[in-house]
Amino acid sequence: MTQVKIKNKYVDGMNWAERCVKRAFDIVASLCGLIVFSPAFAYVYYLLWRQADGPVIYRQERIGLGGRPFNILKFRTMRADSESDGVPQLAEKNDDRLTPVGKFLRCHHLDELPQLWNVFVGDMSFVGYRPERRYFIDQIVKVNPDYECLYQTRPGITSMATIYNGYTDTMEKMLIRLQMDLEYLQRRNLWLDLRIILTTVNLIGHGKKI
């Protein structure tokens, strides 16, 4: 598969040693997370299995490191026919396509748990830009081609944009998120990553929707 040629307008703020430490942390922390949260995995799996209206695990192609596609994993929160017309749609805060169980999972961010596996195998990191579908990337690039600079790094589960920009249910929000992600790319270091992780955990722990 051909790798996208990455522009160098925005340079990665992490050096080689920091990137190695970040990856080692991702491997160890995601493995621990998979073990610690295994009861939650089983409980959510049971809820979705009992709902019996589609697959439990939702796989969707996203674009990540080097511009390469990968399958992001989530617990399914929407009806199986939510994009039956084949046209990708952005998720919204109170999306009427959500199932009753799906609303619960979204509210408590439990739908993201399977992404611990994406982190473990190297598709993603704990901190990084949220990976997007090619359909929406093509629209973003038409307005701001700097999106491709993000391909220097792995996408993540959380980020500054995730915390402060919330749901990206409009193109305007997607472009704001992009600018925040590019700023993170230039500034990123291990201390900033730790702050983002702790802030995310704190917000979720206090019930804030991000």
pLDDT, one tens digit per residue, over 155-188 is 999 999 988 877 677 888 999 999 999 999 999 9
pTM: 0.87
Average pLDDT, integer, range 50-76: 91
Distance CA 175, CA 155 (A): 16
Distance CA 157, CA 14 (A): 18
User: Which pair of structure tokens corresponds to residue 134?
Assistant: 């090619």
CA distances from 138 to 25, 63, 82, 132 (A): 32, 11, 22, 10
Which of 70-83 are b and which e, b meaning 16 or more Cβ less than 10 Å from the residue's Cβ? bebbbbbbbeeebe
Neighbouring C-beta atoms of residue 135, cutoff 10 Å = 11
Domain locations in the chain? 16-205
Task: Please state which of the ranges 68-72, 89-93, 95-99, 156-160 shows the lowest mean pLDDT.
Answer: 89-93
Residue 193's nearest CA partner among 148, 146, 157, 152 is 157
- Please check whether residue 30 is in contact with residue 117, taking contact to mean a CB–CB distance below 8 angstroms: yes
In three-state secondary structure terms, 38 is helix
